[in-house]
Structure 1
């Protein structure tokens, strides 16, 4: 069967699902029995993705199995051989005249797949070598399909990754007037090739945001270059549905599980603090500019080397996420008075990050080591209040969260330990000798097991002092369990 989806070819302003610009084509997959693939699973897939522009035309043969080495595919609608026409650029030109646009699409595909142990190339592999053939040329009519199709590929019925598959991305059927033509050609080729590796279509991420920034999307809420995101997503075309082979999908982790990790070529984010200015006072907010080719997923505020707050990455619009984008982070009111080195750290969705240069300012007066003016557990040196780097492991005794590497200190009235979030009922959710104590459905914290009942709260000092960014990580109540202690 064919699963279909709209594939807009023009940029758009943010929209609700299915309410983007006029539909101009569909990117689809065809659910295909595993017996129709040439290489049985499990097996080690070839890491070669061959991007084919069909110079002089490509002859594709209809067959009962998929074998790129023989130019054979189950996708053509009619028996026999089918000629796919050569790649044309936006001006309708082929050959060397189309090289500039072709090379831009090739670069985009290399960047999209760079986080994985994959080689994207437009040089045909030698005879007998396995590879994925990502055909980027021609029109859907070349293989008997309707004019509403932009791309198509087989997807194994069990979502297993398959070798020697041909995915079709009909370059000559994409809009030649589209200002984002290169990104949209890349979108089609990335989505269709990934179907061969077992990926479904994505609808929305767990935080409710649109999947429009991932090539497995059908949505037009945003544009720009799309990357396989390291985020859990629901599947679907115009509405959410369970994924074909599981409840949710993480496209980055799915492809990484097939090929292993690579080295992203897009670089880490850039970031700089724009407010406050050096040698001034710390105000209510810190402002920064941060950007990344992949997009910034979040920014974090560090004061004297410790994280105090964070902000989500900027939204993605018609041209993707602005690079750089402005950020404003509220400074928690309970930051103690002292000399303060301000830094902002910017992350992308893969965990790559960059720290800004330090900006030194003052809040109130410099701290005095002879006066207890810093936060619980902090030292005062050189006029600065600061914590030592966290050293507490999960299960170690603690009296404040910043002692713990997990930044979480919780327990009973008699005992607090460094802990972490966990999922009740999931094996290995906590380290050995600790149980996952439920706090709410699907959420818990790791603590010593026991039979006693009761309740307790997360440890805080007498002033209720805690950096705002971490307060949200801690649960307020959980069952009191029998006291046990583990030394630091």
Structure 2
């Protein structure tokens, strides 16, 4: 049998009132600022080591990708029995306790627990991970985080906030069982960050000095998220040494080489994606604040954008008439359109990407020169006129009123569906202004937004009544009209 060193890593101290704090840094995006000198927690977390016998045949079967994507959050309702032995979440066995031990149940109530679960799902959204609150069972491979009990119940010191086995010989510890103790009060962010850190230790990841990453001992005001960047290992030094004897250096003596690799930095996002693949991050919130659809503008007109995302904005792109004009990676997101644009209608498209590639796209149409008053004013016979803008009409592929599958089917980038299953390419219009061409009416599509919908009678004389039995006879509540959204990029 081959001995494999497993080192138990203790997370943050419970001495919350005595903690230092990081210098104030704006974190409205996911930018990393290591220029400050964050203070280490006043009462230092302790580390301990556990030896574990691992069958070499098991070690040889551990490949780069994890054998499960399930992470079970266990609040130990009614208590949890943990038995000593080789780590195995399926049987609640761990190398951490010296004897069979009983963890008391998580005591902070359903509201705190549900918010912790939501936080963990949020933090792990960029990765192909399934966060569970129901035990998948003894026959299903899974990682497990017990969020319950006290460190003394596992024969650990009172200053221990959490603990995980740690292994440098494999990419991950199969069926790892880690612990976050019920010592954080009602602090959802502390419980969540500690849980994220402890399970990440089971994937060979070390501590880092970036305050906004879960793998740090430094305090941070906000939600900690794994950063897609090479981060300096450290934040856990005591008397000039890291937990495993590394020499510490840096401006505040808290930097050291990463335990498993010997390098100075690690990228936790790369490690987690290699293990679990890419998840489906929530796309950014995006608004084009200037110009608005239908605005009459001059060549070189400014384009102002508001873009936010919980994971931070990675880039915002401007396209005019489908041509990439500019890209910006830092706030404020303000562009100028080309000065060479000629008279006519122009499509302004803005795409915002978060740090993990999820995207949101918004478009507006503007007019340079004299606005159109009727389809005959447009340069193309196939165009129609909506609110002074020339747009592709019903006679062309992707034009107004064309049957569509999704947004990419439409020249306007808008495919709408009603509750009868009808799907048509639509374009924006001002409610009550009679802007839609013959055969169409301006139909409310939520939040006082309108779209030109085929056959709808908006009272302007452009559409025709569908009657009570028609496809759009939906009580004129318009709640069933949904603008189809693009799927986020992966």
The TM-score, its normalising length taken from structure 2, stands at 0.58
- 1:123 equivalent to 2:134? Answer yes
Deviation of the 1:352 alpha carbon: 1.0
Residues 1:74 and 2:95 are matched in the alignment: yes
**1:359 & 1:147 partners in 2: Cα distance?**
63
CA distance in 2 between counterparts of 1:173 and 1:24 reads 16
Residue equivalent to 2:68: 46
Q: 1:22 to 1:228 in 2, by over 3 A?
A: closer
Instruction: State how far apart, in whole Å, the 2-side matches of 1:202 and 1:234 are.
Output: 6
Asked if residue 136 in structure 1 is aligned to residue 142 in structure 2, the reply is no
Cα RMSD, aligned residues only? 3.7
In structure 2, runs of 5+ residues without a counterpart are: 1-6, 26-32, 237-253, 370-389, 391-490
Which of these residues, 9, 23, 26, is aligned with residue 41 of structure 2? Answer: 23
CA 1:221 to 1:124, structure 2 compared with 1: closer, same or farther past 3 Å?
A: closer
Counterpart CA distance in 2 for 1:17 and 1:35 is 43
Partners of 1:283 and 1:220 lie apart in 2 by 45
> What do the CA deviations read for 1:71-124 (whole angstroms, capped 9, x no partner)?
222223xx21222221021xxxxxxxx223212222222333344343321212
Structure 1 residues 122 and 3, CA, compared in 2 at 3 Å: closer, same or farther? closer
Aligned equivalent of 2:203: 197
- Tell me which residue corresponds to 2:283: 268
How many Å apart are 1:55 and its aligned residue?
A: 1.4
Distance in 2 of aligned mates of 1:51 and 1:33: 25
Displacement of 1:214: 3.2
Do the aligned partners of 1:25 and 1:149 also contact (CA within 8 Å) in 2?
no
Question: What is the SS of the residue equivalent to 2:101?
Answer: strand
Deviation at 1:68, TM superposition (A): 2.3
Partner of 1:329: 334
SS at match of 2:61: coil
Per the alignment, do residues 168 and 5 of structure 1 end up closer, same or farther by CA in structure 2, a change over 3 Å counting?
closer
Kindly report which structure 2 residues correspond to 1:122-271, keeping only aligned pairs within 5 A, or say none. Answer: 122-158=133-169, 160-170=171-181, 172-176=182-186, 181-203=187-209, 211-224=210-223, 226-237=224-235, 239-246=254-261, 247=263, 248-261=265-278, 263-264=279-280, 266-271=281-286
After TM superposition, the score normalised by the length of structure 1 is 0.58
Q: Structure 1 CA distance, aligned partners of 2:257 and 2:336? A: 40
The structure 1 residue matched to 2:360, chosen from 344, 354, 358, is: 354
Once the two structures are TM-superposed, the CA of residue 51 in structure 1 deviates from its matched residue by: 1.0
Runs of 4+ in structure 1 off by over 4 angstroms are: 1-12, 15-22, 24-34, 36-39, 282-285
Q: Which runs of 5+ in 1 are unaligned?
A: 90-97, 204-210, 315-326, 364-381, 383-488
Change (3 A) 1:218 1:23: closer
C-alpha distance in structure 2 between counterparts of 1:281 and 1:219, whole Å: 51
Length, aligned pairs only: 328
Counterpart of 1:431 in structure 2 is none
